[in-house]
Structure 1
Amino acid sequence: MTRSRATAIGFVAILLWALLALFTVGSAPTPPLLLNAICFAIGGGLGLVWGLVTGNLNALREVPFRVYAFGTIGLFGYHALYFSALRNAPAAEAGLIAYLWPLLIVLMSGLLPGEHLRGGHLVGAVLGLGGAALIILGGGSGFEAAHVKGYLLAAACALTWSTYSVGSRRFGDIPTASVIVFCIASAILSAGLHVALEETVWPIGTGGWAATLALGLGPVGLAFYVWDIGVKRGDIQLLGTASYAAPLLSTLALVAAGFAAPSWTLALAAFLITAGAACAAFASKAAGKNKS
C-alpha cells in the first residue's frame, strides 16, 4: 500500500468523527461508560465480520500482549474521557480542549524516527486550531470555573488520543485486525466499570438507539480501522493537521440537521482550516521530495 493511499484511507476516519458530537447528543442521557460498552461491542462485532470475510483473524495470535494493552487503553481512555467531558462541561468549550489532539499529533510526530517537523506543519496546526476555536467558541460564553472537571477531562482526552495515534506508528508492523481486540476489550472493560460506577440508563426511543448504533458503526467503529491504517502507513503529520476539518464538518452536520445556523464565523473558520491543511500538505510534499 502506498503512503498516499494509506493517508486517503485515514481521511475517512476524520469524516466519520465529524458525526461524533451529533450522534453523542442523540444518545443522551446514556452514561459514558455504558455508551462506551455498547459502541465498542458494535465496533468489535463489525471488526469480527470483516476479519472472518478477509481471513485476517489468524494474525491476531502473533500480536504481543503489550500491543493489545496499549490499544485498549487508547480507545477506551479517549472515549470514556470524551463522553465524560461532554457530560461535565458545555460541549463547545470541552470540545475545543478535546480537539487539541490534532495539534499534539503534528507536534509529537516530529519525534518519530524518519519524521521531521517543518515550519509549514506548525503554521498549518496554528491556523487549524484558530479555525476550530472560531467554530467551537464563536458566540460562546467562555470558560467557567464550575466546569473545571469537564475541562480537565477534555485535556486528558486530547493527550490520550494524540499519544495513542503517534504511538501506533511504532507498531507499524502490527496488523490492523488487532483493532478488533482493542474494541472488544474496551467493551468488556467499560461494561464492568459501568456496573460498578454508573446507574444504567439505556438510550431512549428509536432515535436514541439509532444514534447509538450509528456511533458504534461509524465514529466508534469503522473509524478506528481506517485511522490505524492511516497513522501507521500514511502521512501522520498531514492527517493530524487535516483532523481540524472534523469540528468544521461537525458544525456543517449540525446545520444540516437544523441544530445550528450558518454564519460568517463558519465561513472564516472554513478558510482557516483549509489554509492550515494546505500548509501541512505543502510541508509534507517538500519533505517527501527531500527524502527522494
Structure 2
Amino acid sequence: MKHYLYALGAILCWASLPAATGSSLTGMSVPLLMVISFCCAAIYLYAQDVVCTRSFRIYFPDCKVSLLGIWGIFGYHYVYYTALNKTPLAEAAILTTTWSFWIVVFSALLLFRRIKLSIVLTALAGLTGAAMVIAAGKDLVISMQYMQGYMLSLLCGLIWASFSVGLSKSNMKANPMTAFTVYAALLSVLMYLVSPAHPVPSAQNILAAMYLGCVPLGLSFFLWSQAVRGGNMVVIGFLSYLTPPLAVLMVAIVNGETVSEQVIFGMVVIIAASIAGRFALEQKEECS
C-alpha cells in the first residue's frame, strides 16, 4: 500500500504545478527553464539525502541505469518542454498523458507475457477520461502545422513510460534520482551554454521555475522512484490518470472557480477504469 501512496504523492506534486505557477513560466526559453529547474531539483534531492542518510556522498548507479536516468529525466523533460512550445497546450497535454496508458500496457505485457484485451480496454478508458478532463471547455483542433509538436508529445509518453517500467525492473537498494537530476542539471547547463541568447527571465519566471524544480521535479522524482521500485506498475499506471483532474481541481480551489460537469464525469470514468483494471488484473493473476 505504501508504494501507491508514494505514487499518489508524486501525482499530487505534478498536479500542483498549474495552481502554483499559473502562467508564470510563459516566456522562458527551454534551456533556461531546464537549467533552473534541474539545478533546484538536484540541490533539493541532495539536501534530502544528506538529512535522511547523514552522508554527503551521492549514490551513482552503474552505466546502464545512469543512461536510463538520462533518457527518462533529461530526455523526457527536454522533449516535453519543446513539445509545449510547438503545440497548443490542450492538445499537447492530452498526447503527453499517453504515458499512463503505455505504463499500463508495457507493465501488463511484462507481467503476462502477452497483451490482455481487458487491461488495454480499461487503460484506454482511463485515457479517455483524462482527455475529457483536459479538453473541458476548450476547442481541440488537429492541424498539420503542429504535427511536429504532436509527434514530440506522443514521444513524451513513450519516454516516461519506458523509463518508469525500466526503473521498476532495476534492482537498486538506494534511490538513484539524485544522480539522475545531477546528470540532467549538467546536461542542461551545457545545452544552455551552446544555445543562442535567451530572454531575460522575470522574478516570477525564476520563482516558478524554482518551484517546478523543488516540487513537481525534485520531490516527485523521489516519490515516483519509491513507488515504481516496489509497487505494481499496472496499478500505478491507472493511478497516474488522476493527474489531470487533480490539477483542474486544485486550480479551481485556488481561483475559486466551479468545476465543469465534463471534468467531474471524466474523473468518474478514470476512477471506474482504475477499479475495473484492478479487478481485471486480479482475475488474470488468479488464472496465471
Pairwise same-fold verdict (TM > 0.5): yes
* Unmatched runs of 5 consecutive residues or more in structure 1: none
Q: Match of 2:98?
A: 100
Alpha-carbon distance between aligned partners in 1 of 2:207 and 2:286, rounded to the nearest angstrom: 46
Alpha-carbon distance between aligned partners in 1 of 2:46 and 2:169, rounded to the nearest angstrom: 24
Relative to structure 1, the CA distance from residue 141 to residue 110 in structure 2 (aligned partners, 3 Å threshold; closer, same or farther) is closer
Q: Match of 2:75?
A: 77
Q: Does residue 231 of the first structure (1) align with residue 231 of the second (2)?
A: no
Alpha-carbon distance between aligned partners in 1 of 2:271 and 2:37, rounded to the nearest angstrom: 31
Task: Calculate the TM-score normalised by the size of structure 2.
Answer: 0.89
C-alpha displacement at 1:19, in angstroms? 2.5
Q: Match of 1:279?
A: 276
Work out whether residues 58 and 179 of structure 2, in 8 Å CA contact, stay in contact via their aligned partners in 1.
Answer: no
Secondary structure at the counterpart of residue 27 of structure 1: coil
Q: Match of 2:205?
A: 208
Q: Match of 2:107?
A: 109
Please tell me the residue identity of whatever aligns with 1:203. P
Alpha-carbon distance between aligned partners in 2 of 1:154 and 1:24, rounded to the nearest angstrom: 21
The 5 Å alignment of 1:23-172 reads 23=21, 25-55=23-53, 58=57, 60=59, 63-112=61-110, 118=116, 120-138=118-136, 139-172=138-171
Alpha-carbon distance between aligned partners in 2 of 1:198 and 1:144, rounded to the nearest angstrom: 29
C-alpha displacement at 1:21, in angstroms? 4.4
Q: What percent identity do the matched residue pairs reach?
A: 26
Alpha-carbon distance between aligned partners in 2 of 1:64 and 1:39, rounded to the nearest angstrom: 25
Secondary structure at the counterpart of residue 229 of structure 2: helix
Work out whether residues 70 and 180 of structure 2, in 8 Å CA contact, stay in contact via their aligned partners in 1.
Answer: yes
Please tell me the residue identity of whatever aligns with 1:216. G
Alpha-carbon distance between aligned partners in 2 of 1:229 and 1:120, rounded to the nearest angstrom: 28
Task: Calculate the TM-score normalised by the size of structure 1.
Answer: 0.88
Alpha-carbon distance between aligned partners in 2 of 1:126 and 1:260, rounded to the nearest angstrom: 29
Q: Match of 2:180?
A: 182
Secondary structure at the counterpart of residue 110 of structure 2: coil
C-alpha displacement at 1:235, in angstroms? 1.4
What are the superposed Cα offsets for residues 215-243 of structure 1, whole Å, 9 maximum, x if unpaired?
A: 11111111111111111111111111111
C-alpha displacement at 1:287, in angstroms? 5.4
Work out whether residues 92 and 149 of structure 2, in 8 Å CA contact, stay in contact via their aligned partners in 1.
Answer: yes
C-alpha displacement at 1:261, in angstroms? 5.0
What are the superposed Cα offsets for residues 12-57 of structure 1, whole Å, 9 maximum, x if unpaired?
A: 1111111344537321211112211211111111111121122266
Work out whether residues 124 and 280 of structure 1, in 8 Å CA contact, stay in contact via their aligned partners in 2.
Answer: yes
Pairwise CA RMSD of aligned residues?
2.4
Q: Match of 1:248?
A: 245
Alpha-carbon distance between aligned partners in 1 of 2:83 and 2:244, rounded to the nearest angstrom: 16
Secondary structure at the counterpart of residue 234 of structure 1: coil
Work out whether residues 96 and 157 of structure 2, in 8 Å CA contact, stay in contact via their aligned partners in 1.
Answer: yes
What are the superposed Cα offsets for residues 198-220 of structure 1, whole Å, 9 maximum, x if unpaired?
A: 43234323x33332221111111
Work out whether residues 45 and 178 of structure 2, in 8 Å CA contact, stay in contact via their aligned partners in 1.
Answer: yes
Secondary structure at the counterpart of residue 153 of structure 1: helix
Please point out which of 12, 15, 28 is paired with 1:15: 12
